Structure 1
Amino acid sequence: MQCDQAVQSPYAQAPERVAEAFVAGREASACNKPMSACPYSAGTDEHGAWHRGYRLKQILSSGLH
């Protein structure tokens, strides 16, 4: 990589898909679905976002925020 090349975040490439995955994870947690219900492939930005949404809902629901 050259120093003058801009590094683009994967979130900038598909922000809607990542945001939708986050919301889907949050909703799955609210519906008491197992974390294994994540429909996205491991290693993808959507997978990470889904799990962050899932965990955030658990934290907010537990009152530990």
Structure 2
Amino acid sequence: MNRTRKSKEKTREEQEQEQEQEQEQEQEQEQEQEQEQEQEQEQEQEQEQEQEQEQEQEEEEENSAFV
């Protein structure tokens, strides 16, 4: 009888540990997703900047063509 109670207690501890590990993994995944989103935002900003530069170049070329 004593043996089974001990094993049950152990499994409860193991379950708690597993839950903690799962929570940690979820947190890590969330952090990774956030980092990916930040990277995507940075890429979008860079693309916008490039487009703006291209527009400026085109405008300058048009202006010089008129001269």
TM-score (norm 1): 0.31
**Larger relative contact order (CA 8 Å, sep ≥ 6):** 1
Is the helix fraction higher in 1 or 2? 2
